[in-house]
Structure 1
Amino acid sequence: MIQIPKEELLESLRLGYIEYRDCVITGSDAVDLAHVKGYCVTIEQILSAYSGVSKEKIIEIKRPIIGDVSLRRGKKQDSNTDYDVPTIFRKQFD
């Protein structure tokens, strides 16, 4: 198993937030922003799952750089879809 010091991962996360902020400022396209967001979320998850870093510590790093912006994927709002009905049957009704 690869061992990466927690402090290096925290610094990588901080730099990822800075890169995201800079991409927003320069008007990068959605693909670039999605790439950086995915990188940051992945590092957050690794830190949380394997390094015991709390959500509060991650927020403490994130807030001064990008504020309370969520980097998680947005959920599509489709109020007409009943996910209790199997897909094959939903498609027949569309």
Structure 2
Amino acid sequence: MRKPDLAAALAERADLTKDKANEVLNELLDQITLTVSKGESVSLIGFGTFETRSRAKRMGKNPQTGAAIEIPASNTVAFKPGKALKEACNS
């Protein structure tokens, strides 16, 4: 399912216009992005948690030459699914 499909399903289930559903979906995603980019987590009970995780610098290998390279430290976004989502996927 892609974003337009999700907005259309939301519009149908919540009795909204497609434009309004798309607006709500965009605002939800913007708020999650803003919050996680500040280093805070977003917890949606039953669905899961979005959070920032730090990766330490590490040594890697250039796949073309085999030469060792240092990969710098970085931040990434992680998603940990909630219990209800896990159960829905396993039923």
* Both structures adopt the same fold (TM-score exceeding 0.5): no
- TM-score range relative to shorter protein: 0.3 to 0.5
**TM-score normalised by structure 2 residue count:** 0.33
Higher helix share: 1
Normalising to structure 1: TM-score of the pair? 0.33
More strand as a share of residues: 2
Tell me which of the two structures has the higher relative contact order, counting C-alpha pairs closer than 8 angstroms and 6 or more residues apart: 1
